[in-house]
A and B are shown apart, each in its own frame.
Chain A
Amino acid sequence: MPKPVTILIGALGGDGGGVLCDWIVAAAQSQGLGVQATQIPGVAQRTGATTYYLEVMPSSGPAQQVLALNPAIGEVDVALATELLEAGRMIFNGFVTPERTTLIASTHRVLAIGERMAMGDGSFDVGRLLRAVKERSRTQILFDMDQAAEESGGVINAVLLGALAGSGRLPIPDAAFEAAIRHAGKSVDTNLAAFAFGRGHARGELEQAVREHHKRQAATSGVEDLIARARRDFPAASLDVVEEGIRRLAAYQDRKYAALYLDRLNGLPADLVREVARHLAVRMSFEDVIRVAQAKTSRERIERVRAEVRAKAHEPLEITEHFKPGNEEIAAMLPPAAARWLLRRRPFHISMHVRSTTVWGFLRLRLLAGLRWWRPHSFRFVEEQAEIERWLAAIRAAAPIGTDLAREIAESARLIKGYGDTYKRGLQNYRRIADEVIAPALAGRLVPRAAADAVANARVAALADPDGESLSRTLAAIASASQPLRSAAE
């Protein structure tokens, strides 16, 4: 009695796993092959993982034996996944094995909610996934099926069907799969196109240009001398960052400000320059309304938006910006005295929806961006510079104690980012770490090695939850750990 070919499909709600299942069943039936499919479709909602399980007899004639409804560990011949983490899930659950399983999976990631909501980068290590995919399956057909679907104008489930056909693991000719798509009768042409793409990739007849995210460098001229100076003064390994910093700050403010950036980097130990330069440039180009207006009115921006929202060249595009400036944003732009007065008043916010594609709307933003000259006199600028100096001083003070500690202090600048409450939360967290960990560390109340870890742990804790609970716990732990040392020091 021939054994059935077992197929397990892992998909996300909305990927069309059910339709994929129906196509395979119809194609198998058209060949007179015994086939049985079942599914755990999940709820009607368009998220969440869904699984489908099929058994197809390798030769025609109805299946004599009872076909199973559940996949078994180590007994899956073909595993299909519309997304990389779901492929990982089938491996994690032991269904995919190096002895038996052909794994056909898309390499793109759709991040789960837990990965997306992290305050920093919470995404699962793709390297681990790919390694498991390669080591824990017999053969692999891997490519970005999301991209292929896009390029073909179709949907991912048809690409996957094509890849299955291309794998040759089922005794079903391409024509039968295509007939199944035609018979189903929904968006036949795009599905057939997607099917062809999938099959082409599976057979290695098609090449896929790897999608990569380009880092955008600030474009500024007239800073050549500063760059030359940087090349004289700083280690080669740090220059890409330092030069980017120079260009960014010249664009953000002016040459003078970019020069200040270099002055601030002077005299740092060589092995610290790169990290400090990176964070220093970000801190010095802090997000105020002027910077936002600069970004929203930059020359490339409108084209970028067009591409992102897929507006065709001939289609008019209207962009509406969502602003909600409040007393703090306004105070940030005032002279310090006036700002402090305003901040003592009752807080308020103004909802603004600015249509930046209208002449008047764009002009308003442009005028705001033009206030660059005033920035150095603004309250926020003065405050930021003071903060930056304190931070640099800490790094310099830490350097002789230990490079790790200095690097961690530099890294803790990551906490200070964003706008409104996010910015305030980040700054508060940073200050708590500065007072409760960095200060005692510099005062020699922590062992250098432990001090670096403490700062790192505190930073991670600060990014763990928005309510600062884990930060409080961590700081308490650090404090108690440093008790004996403190008494010893006294």
Chain B
Amino acid sequence: MPPASRAANGIVGGAVSPYNPGMLDQPQLAVAQRTNPERSFTEEVRALRLGEGEVFRGEGILAVTKAILQAGVAYVGGYQGAPVSHLVDVLVESQDLLDELGVHLETCTNESSAAALLGASINYPIRGCVTWKSIVGTNVAADALYNLASPGVIGGALIVVGEDYGEGASVIQERAHAYALKSSLWLMDPRPSLPTIVRCTEMAFELSEATNTPVMMELRIRACHVTGEFVAKDNKPPAISRNHRLAEPAAHNYDRISHPPSTYAHEKLKVEVRQPAAQRFIVEHGLNEFLPGARSDLGIIVQGGITNVALRGLDRLELEGRIPTLVLNVTHPLVPDQIADFCKGKRAVLIVEEGAPDYIEQAVHALLRKRDIDTKIYGKDVLPMAGEYTAEVMTEGLLKFFALSANDIDLSKPRERFEAARAGRAEAQRLLGGPLPLRPPGFCTGCPERPVFSAIKLLEREVGKVHMSSDIGCHSFATLAPFNLGNSILGFGMSLAAAGAVAPIMERRTISVMGDGGFWHNGLLSGVASAMFNRGDRVLVIMQNGYTSATGAQFIPNTAGNRRDGETTSDIAATLKAMGVKWLRTIRTYNVGTMLGTLREAMNTDDKGLKVIVADGECQLARQRRIRPQIAAQLKRGERVVRTRYGVDDEVCTGDHSCIRLSGCPSLVVKPSPDPLRSDPVAHVNNGCVGCGLCGEVADAAVLCPSFYTADIVQNASWWDRLKWRVRARVIGAMTSA
């Protein structure tokens, strides 16, 4: 293993050997200086400045961002996560605008701190908006959320949740709807068209104020990214804000404290005052849309967010505009009279409600029963209880619905087309012969987290399989090919806590992996503090890359502050020391040998306490964004730049691909063997290589094969480089021809 030396920033393995360029001998940017300058939203920021009458063009989530400024929010907060990250990301880039308007922006360290931010609207008539990825974020926020809902608000409070459901989702498939029901929050699910989304956003604040209740607005993945346009209004500077401060705090009012006896009053207020007020408001302001249709004996009640799929489904059956449809842009509370009136006199109504359980359908059944309305209700009996309502699912459901409820409608032609399409797919799948290779997400080229898992793979060769507790973040990709490492994921920052009861029953120590994002989100307290408190004999690896990379490289407390001001905040190692962690190592991840040695030590040391390895390496995506322009500029100025990349000698490689199984780097691919007598493809490093050096490190640490080489290309070479090169070329040339 190459000798490790101490780098300036006190990180072991800063440089390895003069012969091994790549990440290891490149200066490591101290984590507190890591910023991600190339991520800019100039266009988006411009869109946020549009004034009265100008046409906004962009994605749904950006439209929401513009709408909250138009509604005069005084504060915004949130925790990043697809599909709503952009809301806060863009505002972070819009400091000037926020300063002018007096809007306070808080980039929270987790969703509960974001939810708690809304507490400002309990006592003060100011509007606030927070956002996060649901269902995960809503779970984390739940504590603050119901403490907010109970006393209620006097300033409009909006929670924009990205309903991460269906294709492309990365979380457990549950509905945010349940939280709205249990805490009496109002839930908006706007039809995915920008004007509707914008109107609902603005209305949400008024609804919130009219009913003293926080409003949740759920936007599905496709709705957040849907493009469109709407006519903008001027942004409204809030009356009370950081630019117009209050002289005095609100007078003490125990009714606003979520403690008994207030809580008993709150519970009654929710159902006796706030909910009826909300139902009145929904009707008066026409928040739900009624689409007329000739077939007055039939009807469809659909969640706003699913409307487009349903309407296109009707087109497909040549029924466009013929079926009366009630579009619920507000899915909680429902308005019993509105629904009853819609259903009255109809033979059958289909409820299109995505996901389980079928809250809306149950409620509709109950309210019709109470009113003795005998309209037949269809829903989860013709549409699936679980899973996304795709075009195909919707079509099948509609066909079933009409077959059962209106056999006078001739659907033979559409049905034939639909069946033909399915038959065609079956034929295509027969032609392709079975499932296609999957393309799961994986670590980027040059990712600093990959070497850690290469090291863990090698560790397992020595000590045997290890129980690995995984976490949320890029590193969770280690649970996929080629590493297939990890026994459980219990939530964001939970990996250490999740090993609490496993460690005591294991011969071998457990390894918990956590990102620095997860560490600050939850891992510090739920994991580290609890492990210290309980003297957990466990190993924790913290991936310190400096950002929450999986969500788009947002800043976190150990990055450069929460803004672009480069202000350093919290250091992980210092925090751990302060918490009393004795066994603590900080390692440059790319040094697989050192990483392996350190893991070995952590697994075998007699130290019975918590053992923490801070695996340090900057997110390569962010790093590339930063250095590419720098290098381009250097080259332009004619400065000497050494470009390093790796390669495989195709004459030496025999095509076993162990190197790929230990790395999975996207730039480490295969190509046909140049050997006329061999059939197995050989490994090949393509031009995506960023020269991180992992393949060389793995080849060394795992004693793979002599195929790998490092190539240093000297650009803008000095006269000395050229001279050396010429002389060497001549001598070597002579030797080869000799």
Q: Which residues of A contact B (CB under 8 A)?
A: 12-13, 25, 29, 35-49, 51, 65-75, 85-86, 88-89, 91-94, 96-99, 110-121, 123-125, 128-129, 131-132, 135-136, 213-217, 240-241, 244-245, 248, 278-279, 281-282, 287, 292, 295-299, 301-302, 305, 308-311, 314-324, 326, 349, 351, 353-359, 362-363, 366, 414, 417-422, 426, 466
Give the distance to chain B from A353, nearest Cβ to Cβ, in Å.
3
In contact, A69 and B223 (Cβ under 8 angstroms): yes
Q: Is B596 an interface residue (CB 8 A)?
A: no
Identify the closest chain A residue to B653 (Cβ).
A418
Name B217-276 residues within 8 Å CB distance of A: 221-223, 225-228
Asked whether, in the complex, the Cβ of A73 is within 8 Å of the Cβ of B441, the reply is no
> Can you list 11 A-B pairs with a CB-CB distance of less than 8 A?
A66-B307, A69-B192, A72-B421, A74-B421, A92-B429, A113-B482, A113-B664, A114-B437, A297-B736, A326-B703, A414-B679
B655 touches A120 (CB 8 A): yes
Residue of A nearest to B710 (CB): A320
B487 CB–A CB distance under 8 Å: no
Query: In the complex the two chains form, what is the Cα distance from A302 to B730 in whole Å?
Result: 13
Please encode chain B, from 651 to 687, with 1 for each CB lying within 8 Å of some chain A CB and 0 for all others: 1101111101100101011111011111111000001
A414 to B679, CA, bound (A): 9
Question: Contact at A417–B700, with CB atoms within 8 Å?
Answer: no
Contact present for B721 and A316 (CB under 8 Å) = yes
- Say how far B649's CB is from chain A's closest CB, in angstroms: 6
Contact A116 B657 (CB under 8 A): yes
Expressed in whole angstroms, the Cα–Cα distance for A88 and B735 within the complex equals 51
Give the residue name and chain of the B residue nearest to A213 (CB). Answer: B672
- B225 near A41 (CB under 8 angstroms)? yes
Which A residues are in CB contact (< 8 Å) with B422? Answer: 73, 94
A73 and B421 contact, CB distance less than 8 A? yes
Number of A-B residue pairs having CB atoms within 8 Å of each other in the complex: 352
B441 and A13 form a contact (CB under 8 A) = yes
Cβ of B699 within 8 Å of any chain A Cβ, yes or no, is yes
B694 CB to closest chain A CB, in angstroms?
Answer: 12
Give Cα A111–Cα B222 distance, bound, in whole angstroms.
Answer: 28
Contact A315 B714 (CB under 8 A): yes
| Contact indicator A40/B221 (Cβ below 8 Å) | yes
Residues from chain A with a CB closer than 8 A to the CB of B501 are none
Cβ of B116 under 8 Å from chain A: no
* Interface stretch of the complex, out of B176-184, B371-379, B550-558: B550-558
A98 to B709, CA, bound (A): 48
Complex Cα–Cα for A91 and B715 (A) = 45
Please state if B704 and A419 are interface contacts (CB–CB under 8 Å). yes
Q: In the complex, which residues of chain B have a beta carbon less than 8 angstroms from the beta carbon of A110?
A: 669
Taking A92-B436, A245-B677 as given, write out 12 further A-B residue pairs in contact, using a Cβ cutoff of 8 Å, ordered by the A residue number. A47-B439, A69-B226, A73-B425, A94-B428, A111-B669, A113-B440, A135-B431, A215-B674, A287-B652, A292-B652, A414-B680, A419-B705
Q: Is B286 an interface residue (CB 8 A)?
A: no
Contact flags B405-449 to A (C-beta < 8 A → 1, else 0): 000000000000110111011011101110111111111110000
10 closest Cβ pairs, A-B complex: A94-B425, A74-B421, A353-B19, A72-B391, A40-B168, A48-B441, A316-B725, A417-B654, A112-B437, A318-B712
| Contact between chains at B440 and A29 (CB < 8 Å) | no
Residue of A nearest to B442 (CB): A47
Asked whether B700 lies within 8 Å of A351 as measured between CB atoms, the reply is yes
Q: Report whether B437 and A73 are in contact in the complex, using a CB–CB cutoff of 8 Å.
A: no
Q: Is B638 an interface residue (CB 8 A)?
A: no
Does B137 lie at the interface of the complex (its beta carbon under 8 Å from any beta carbon of A)?
A: no
| Contact present for A420 and B657 (CB under 8 Å) | no
Give chain B nearest CB distance to A155 CB in angstroms: 12
Cα of A281 to Cα of B676 in the assembled complex, Å:
11
The answer to whether A216 and B675 touch across the interface, beta carbons within 8 angstroms, is yes
Nearest chain A residue, comparing its CB with the CB of B723: A316
Most buried by A among B225, B655, B656, B736: B656
B696 / chain A contacts, CB cutoff of 8 Å: 322
Query: Does B48 sit within 8 A of A, measured CB to CB?
Result: no
* Chain B residue at minimum C-beta to C-beta distance from A21: B227
Whether B579 is near chain A, meaning CB under 8 Å from some CB there, is no
Contact between chains at A320 and B227 (CB < 8 Å): no
A116-B669, A322-B696 known; A124-B436 Cβ under 8 A: yes
Complex interface: chain B residues within 8 A of A88 (CB): 432, 436
Q: B678 contacts A282, CB within 8 Å?
A: yes
Indicate if B584 sits at the interface (CB-CB under 8 A): no
Given known contacts A13-B441, A43-B170, A308 and B621 CB-to-CB distance under 8 angstroms? no
- Specify which chain A residues have a CB less than 8 angstroms from the CB of B722 in the assembled complex: 316
The residue of chain B having its C-beta at the shortest distance from the C-beta of A325 within the complex is: B706
User: Which residues from A are CB-within-8-Å of B227?
Assistant: 25, 35-38
Cβ-based interface call for B308 (8 A):
yes
Q: In the assembled complex, which residues on chain B have CB atoms less than 8 Å from the CB atom of A214? A: 674
B312 located at the interface, meaning its Cβ lies under 8 Å from any Cβ of chain A in the complex: yes
B437 to chain A, nearest CB (A): 4
Which chain A residues lie closer than 8 Å to B709 at the CB level?
Answer: 305, 319-322, 356
A residues within 8 A CB of B170? 43
